[in-house]
Structure 1
Amino acid sequence: MAVTYVRGKGGGMGQPKDMEADVVIVGAGLSGLIAARTVLEAGLTPLIVEADDRVGGRILTEEALPGIPLDLGAQWIGDTHHRMFALAAELGVETFAQYDEGETSYDLAGSGVMRENDFHSRYGEELTHLERVLRTLDELAAEVPADAPWLAPHAAEWDAITAAAWYDAQGLSVIARTLLEICTVGILAVPTAEVSFLHLLFTIQTCGVTSELFAESEGGAQTTRFVGGTSEIPRRLAALLSEHIVLDAPVQLIEHAADGVTVHCRGGRTFRGRRVIVSISPTLAGRIAYDPPLPGDRDQLTQRMPNGSAMKAFFVYDEPFWRAEGLNGQLISDVGPARMSNDTCVPGDDHGVILLFLEGEQARVANRLTAAERQAALTDELVRHYGSRAARPQFYVDGEWSDRQWTRGCYNANMGPLVWTTYGSTLAAPIGVIHWASTDTASSWSAYMEGAVEAGERAAHEVIRAR
């Protein structure tokens, strides 16, 4: 499916320097594309301006070898991601189940490498205690309004401490505490010492319960993948909107008044509309200049919502040899650069693909190494879990998101202590003719693609109601 977009550089492909629309949308990630399609279906004219030379935002698929798409960005949806399943069906993107047969390999807190059944047998009592802590988290999260966390009965208390401080107070064994940290960082992409406990509870509330967040199998958030890679979703959405998308157009200034907005992009291009939807992460939205300036509490918010740190590293082998050993390709470890992994083989292809996750502090440290140094360290880790065959990949690639100019981190933005209760009410609330979208502003599955769709639809409906 060939798609042609208007290019922002040099005035575009024969396009006028200035363009007008009913709604200007900043960012061609999933939220921006959904917002554009929604307002277009309502009879309004959208215009998306995207800083990058591609659509998709935090979704990025690259083909390592013919027929093997690798998702360097968002990759999975879960069983309760109903918006994403519906969107994939509408766009004709097929899905398939995440491979989950066999045992996970553990290496935690000095345990040594152990298979899942042995690990659970040895540490059953500690894991039972951890399960009780997770149920407590579910009970507390149920008290947090997903659309207004600052109104939770104990919001002030919970927002004044970090998630790490609450975890540390639960009396968990070293094994259980380490496992809980790894699973939580796998969602937030920052150490738990950097986020407030209220933010953790908000994240759980927007996603249902902890089992839906942490589980890899049925009921979890990582049960389903897309044929051809996740980029099929934004690519096909963009094909429906190609005449409404301008690439290579970084927004520098948004002038706004009661009767409309003028969006100024690098290179002197301007775009005018009656309203604007800013559908990029809050920290990037805060780097745009606004005239008149936004209220101070909104600016203070965006100064306090850093994006997470995440890196994905893929090893491609001639076959998935670990399956024959009864392993599912998942590891959970605090030894080595990666904390978790997944079998990400492509159905119908004989190659074996293992994805390693480096999140939070591990991503930050590994990003300072060369690609060769990272590969060597990760290879050592895979060899410990899967044997000598893991040392002979056919292909290796990794990607860290904080270096990407128009993303500056992944998977999501997080709030530290006292941010929700002090500034949270400004996160998604429109300011005059300016509306906000991106998965970080969602009240359902925030930080996931499901949340990106919800946020895009919400912002679009705000604009539609205001026309």
Structure 2
Amino acid sequence: MRSPADFVGVSGADPHVHARVGCDSNAVTHEADVVVVGAGLSGLIAARTLLAAGLRPLVLEADNRVGGRILTEEVLPGLPVEIGAQWIGDTHHRMFALADELGVPTFPQYEDGETSYELVGSGVLRENDFHTRFADELAELDRVLRVLDELAAEVPPEAPWRAPRAAEWDAITAGAWYDGQGLSPVARTLLEICTVGILAVPTVEVSFLHLLFTIQTCGVTAELFAESEGGAQTTRFVGGTGEIPRRLAALLTAHLVLDAPVQLIEHGPGGVTVHCRGGVAARARRVIVAISPTLAGRIMYDPPLPGRRDQLTQRLPNAAAMKAFFVYDEPFWRAEGLNGQLISDVGPARMSNDTCLPDDGRGVLLLFLEGEQARVYGALPEVERRAALTAELVRHFGSRAARPEAYVDGEWSERPWTRGCYNANCGPLVWTSYGSALAEPIGVIHWASTDTATRWSAYMEGAVEAGERAARAVIAELS
């Protein structure tokens, strides 16, 4: 068995390269009480919870690293950046407790200064000018956000299909509902940018019920969309988010196998046998599949899963997102009274953040490409993508933005063991037709990923909740 210490933090290996193929159904190389498929945050949390209860978990991870959609890379010596998940919010109590337990300090997201806007032909405007010019449009937006909060309050997060108007809301897209609110172009564009920033798909691809579910699991729109106090992006981790899975994996060294893509799960009342490419096979009493629904649907099951579960996974694609980092000798925008954030419908990025490290003199700007922008620009050669992003930064932050010391970006749909980020989204009629199959165990098989959470679904907070929930259910069954 390979130690996670050999792999944690390794980011450049090609997961396609495996000398061994096929699986030997007669060879069992590991015995455990519970097999956990996937060493993302949900899987690691589930395994740790099982271990604390006196059970023997075995985590099988397809990649050569732990963390899943959490990935920290060092772009320059001493300068880690988050290719994947980066922030937690003020109400992410599980994540704060986990960081404290693992000894990972946190620090606040930088917010001082004005945001730069570029919307609907306005040209580049500073925040105060933008708010003055478009005060009426922003009031429209606030009105719609309050309506969304009221409607979301009717959605039970553990069963969205039981909402009083579930059939009505699930039959239309979020984009169609937005279009029916009589918003001005500025307000409608802002609403689209904010929503795509959360879901990472255009609103015309997401059911309105799914949007309301997302709002409900996160509290209110103020918590979901805001980056200031009370929002979802207020706090970062010293050393990078990757410290969380790295330290969890260190607690599970004897219970973790990397480079072990699961191909087949044989299951029945007596337990499971899980077969991996390369000859690894594990027998256990239960299995927790802790990967996104669409990837879980690519595993073979014997006997086959109920058709309803399979139909669900065919309808839950992962979203599209990528992040691009520009590193400078200093955060020059701060001296100009800017906070490093931009909001633009010109693009190619729709939003940005100042992601400098405290007590580090270098400046780091992060640009987000989500939904259609990630699909289009992620397919371009890096030199073309970088040039387009540089031009955008120059428009907002001046000519110094054209002279970075380093550049790095990361796109998730090409990664074979994630195939997209940040989460899975339900299109129309998915919740009402198939939603109850999302987290419901099937015999000895349990499901866990942030997509199955009922609190902060699609966030790290939700991943922790999902892992704990699945582990507790297994512990109750085996006790």
Specify if TM > 0.5: yes
Correspondence for 1:401: 412
SS across alignment from 1:24: strand
Structure 2 residue identity aligned to 1:29: G
Does structure 2 conserve the Cα–Cα contact (< 8 Å) formed by 1:67 and 1:349? Answer: no
Q: Distance in 1 between matches of 2:384 and 2:305?
A: 44
The answer to whether the Cα contact below 8 Å between 2:272 and 2:286 also exists between their aligned partners in 1 is: yes
Pair 1:208 & 2:219 matched:
yes
State the alpha-carbon separation in 1 of the partners of residues 345 and 57 from structure 2: 47
SS where residue 353 of structure 1 aligns? Answer: strand
Q: For residues 323 and 123 of structure 1, what CA distance do their matches in structure 2 show?
A: 25
Match of 2:120 in 1: 109
Whole-Å separation in 1 of the counterparts to 2:102 and 2:354: 26
Q: Does 1:308 align with 2:310?
A: no
Q: Partner amino acid for 2:207?
A: S
Superposed CA RMSD: 1.5
C-alpha distance after superposition, 1:21-43 (max 9, x if no partner) = 00000000000000000010001
Structure 2 residue 383 is matched with structure 1 residue 372: yes
Percent of pairs with identical residues: 79
Of residues 229, 234, 244, the one that matches 2:240 is 229
User: Does the aligned pair in 1 maintain the 2:72–2:84 contact within 8 Å?
Assistant: yes
Shift of 1:368: 1.3
CA distance in 1 between partners of 2:80 and 2:226 (Å): 24
Q: Which amino acid aligns with 1:172?
A: L
Structure 1 partner of 2:352: 341
Determine whether 1:129 maps to 2:131.
no
Deviation at 1:17, TM superposition (A): 6.0
2:65 paired residue number: 54
Does the CA contact (< 8 Å) of 1:148 and 1:425 recur in 2?
yes
Could you tell me which runs of 5 or more consecutive residues in structure 1 were left unpaired when the two chains were aligned: none
1:297-321 deviations in whole A, cap 9, x for unaligned?
A: 0000000000000000000000000
1 CA distance for matches of 2:31 and 2:253?
16
Q: Which runs of 4+ in 1 moved over 2 A?
A: 1-11
Change (3 A) 1:271 1:9: farther
Which residue number in structure 2 is paired with residue 156 of structure 1? Answer: 167
- Whether the aligned pair in 2 keeps the contact of 1:260 and 1:433 (CA below 8 Å) is yes
Q: What is the aligned length?
A: 463
CA offsets 1:148-173 (integer angstroms, 9 cap, x no match)? 00000000000000000000000000
The alignment's TM-score, normalised by the length of structure 2, stands at 0.95
**SS in structure 2 opposite 1:3?**
helix
Question: Given residue 171 of structure 2, which amino acid in structure 1 is its aligned partner?
Answer: A
Asked if the contact 1:93–1:226 (Cα under 8 Å) also holds between the matched residues in 2, the reply is yes
Distance 2:7 2:410 in 1: 26
**Deviations along 1:346-370, whole A, 9 cap, x unmatched?**
1111000000000000000001110
Q: Is the contact between residue 109 and residue 175 of structure 1 (CA under 8 Å) also seen in structure 2?
A: yes
SS of residue paired to 2:301 = strand
Q: Determine the structure 1 residue equivalent to 2:131.
A: 120
Give the TM-score of the pair, scaled to structure 1.
Answer: 0.97
Q: Is the 8 A contact 1:5 1:243 kept in 2?
A: no
CA displacement at 1:67 relative to structure 2:
1.4
**For the residues of structure 2 that align with 1:343 and 1:437, how far apart are their CA atoms?**
33
Give the letter for the 1:192 counterpart.
Answer: T
SS in 2 for 1:236: helix
Question: Match of 1:257, as an amino acid?
Answer: G
Q: 1:322 matched to which residue of 2?
A: 333
Are the equivalent residues in 1 in contact too, given 2:170–2:432 (CA < 8 A)? Answer: yes
Hey, what does 1:180 align to over in structure 2?
191
Q: Distance in 2 between matches of 1:5 and 1:315?
A: 27
- Is residue 3 of structure 1 aligned with residue 5 of structure 2? yes
**2:333 is the alignment partner of 1:331:** no
Residue pair 2:4, 2:65 contacting (<8 A) in 1 also: no
Equivalent position of 1:73 in the other structure:
84
Partner deviation per Cα, 1:310-344 (whole Å, 9 max, x = no partner): 00000000000000000000000011210000000
Is 1:438 matched up with 2:449?
Answer: yes
SS of residue in 2 equivalent to 1:335: coil
Once residues 403 and 10 of structure 1 are traced to their aligned partners in structure 2, the CA distance between those partners, rounded to angstroms, is 22
- The answer to whether the 8 A contact 2:4-2:253 is kept is no
Q: Secondary structure at the match of 1:179?
A: helix
Give the C-alpha shift of residue 66 in structure 1.
1.4
Q: What one-letter code is carried by the residue in structure 2 that aligns with 1:332?
A: I
Contact kept, 8 Å, 2:36 with 2:287, in 1: the verdict is: yes
Separation in structure 1 between the aligned mates of residue 61 and residue 229 of structure 2, nearest angstrom: 36
Alpha-carbon deviations, 1:256-296, whole Å to 9, x = none? Answer: 00110000100222111000000000000000000000000
Structure 2: 5+ residue stretches without partners = 9-14, 22-26
Contact between 2:7 and 2:65, CA under 8 Å: does it hold in 1?
no
Query: Could you tell me how far 1:3 is from its partner in structure 2?
Result: 2.2
- Name which of 75, 79, 83 aligns with 1:64: 75
Q: Structure 2 CA distance, aligned partners of 1:4 and 1:175?
A: 50
Residues 128, 224 of structure 1: alpha-carbon distance in 2 compared, 3 angstrom cutoff: same
Aligned residue in 1 for 2:292: 281
For 1:85 and 1:368, locate their aligned partners in 2 and report how far apart those are by CA, in whole Å: 36
The one of 339, 354, 364 aligned to 2:365:
354
How far residue 83 of structure 1 moved from its aligned partner, in angstroms, is: 0.1
What amino acid is aligned across from residue 318 of structure 1 in structure 2? Answer: D
CA distance in 1, matches of 2:343, 2:410: 20
* Partners of 1:241 and 1:255 in 2: CA distance: 25
Corresponding residue number in structure 2 for 1:248 = 259
Q: Is the 8 A contact 2:215 2:221 kept in 1?
A: yes
State the one-letter code of the partner of 2:69. Answer: R
